[in-house]
Amino acid sequence: MVLCQRLPLLASFKVTYQCNLSCRACPFHFRAQHPRSAMHWETAALLLNKLRKSGCQIVVFEGGEPLLWRDGNRTLHDLIVHAKTLFLRVCLTTNGTVPLDVPADRIWVSIDGLRETHNRLRSNSFDTVWENLRNACNRNIFIHYTINRENWRDIEPLAHMLGNLPTVRGITVQLFYPYAQGEEDLRLTGQERMQAIDTVLRLKRNGYPIFNSSSALTAMKKHTWRCREDVLINVDPDGTITRGCYAKRRGTVRCTECGFTPIAEASAAVSFHPTSLYAGWRIFFAD
């Protein structure tokens, strides 16, 4: 029955595959030359209206690099302003190489290690990202750290460095997911996965601004969480809308290797787990 269907909570909205980096862990920049690799304004506006009618409350613009998107004289700034008339929160995930002067409610900037590690993984972009973080006017910025085999030991010293950036509110982590498109050497072993999560949990206990809940991180470590994939809805640059797992149509679905902590957190939140509800409130709504 339609009345029994769970409403999507969060939308991953890939407005373009175009990117100025070629990060080792990312499969999406390879698709920049595909037909319909970026949306027109009219398509994006139509899809945002469809998401609103579906009951979705939060939209996160992604890429590629979403801040490179434009259609005529319209840029992502215009799309964010329009989306804010429709949703409770409009957010952005960016590689941080473009100035962060957009009115998103929350901005996630990807950093994947200390300078040497990040540069190796993310096209020598560390200095540019750091400078843009220092100069940002938006004070609702989080670091998005995707833990993989090369960078999991860097998260503690990086968390310490980030304490010197007043523009950054905190860190959210997720685990590398192998899309089976040439990046499998970044896959964590089972032991590395447990050690990495234990490190993040220890940092959180010691007062570092890790915004993932301890319960969701522990569940990811032990593979004990129940996935409620219907909390997520995905939009790709060709206009396709897909309900469920982030990896659908984007790679091979391997549930046993899932590292998508936002889905673990949202799955627990819709089951009224108090720590995940609190984490969601802190991340998306707390001033």
Around 259, how many Cα atoms within 13 Å sit in the side-chain half-sphere? 25
| Contact assessment for residue 215 and residue 268, using Cβ atoms and an 8 Å cutoff | yes
Rounded to an integer, what distance in angstroms lies between the CA atom of residue 141 and that of residue 54? 28
Beta strands in the chain, from DSSP E residues, in sequence order: 10-14, 58-62, 70-71, 74-75, 89-94, 106-110, 141-147, 168-175, 232-235, 241-243
Closest by Cα among 175, 211, 213 to 194: 175
As for how many domains the chain has, the answer is: 1
Rounded to an integer, what distance in angstroms lies between the CA atom of residue 94 and that of residue 107? 7
| Residue 27, pLDDT score | 85
Helices (H) and strands (E) in the chain, counts: 9, 10
Stated pTM of the model? 0.94
| Residue 250, pLDDT score | 80
| Residue 5, pLDDT score | 54
The residue segments making up the domain with residue 35 are 2-284
| Residue 3, pLDDT score | 36
CATH of the domain at 217: 3.20.20.70
Tokens standing for 178? 């192998």
CA distances for 24 relative to 30, 31, 98, 186, 193, angstroms: 11, 14, 19, 9, 19
Tokens standing for 210? 């890790």
DSSP state for residue 61 in the 8-state scheme: E
| Contact assessment for residue 176 and residue 188, using Cβ atoms and an 8 Å cutoff | yes
Per-residue pLDDT of the chain (287 residues; tens, 9 = 90+): 333 457 788 999 999 999 999 999 988 887 778 888 899 999 999 999 999 999 999 999 999 999 999 999 999 999 999 999 999 999 999 999 999 999 999 999 999 999 999 999 999 999 999 999 999 999 899 999 999 999 999 999 999 999 999 999 999 999 999 887 777 899 999 999 999 999 999 999 999 999 999 999 999 998 898 999 899 999 999 999 999 888 887 878 888 888 999 999 999 999 999 999 999 999 999 98
| Contact assessment for residue 91 and residue 44, using Cβ atoms and an 8 Å cutoff | no
Q: Residue 263: which residues within 8 A CB-CB, separation 6 or more?
A: 227, 228, 229, 231, 232, 245, 246
Distance of CA 145 to the CA centre of its chain: 9
| Contact assessment for residue 260 and residue 177, using Cβ atoms and an 8 Å cutoff | yes
3-state class of 19 per DSSP?
A: coil
Burial class (CB in 10 A: 0-12, 13-18, 19+), 260: buried
| Residue 4, pLDDT score | 42
| Contact assessment for residue 64 and residue 32, using Cβ atoms and an 8 Å cutoff | yes
DSSP state for residue 166 in the 8-state scheme: T
Closest by Cα among 175, 134, 130 to 151: 175
Closest by Cα among 106, 98, 54 to 80: 106
| Residue 222, pLDDT score | 83
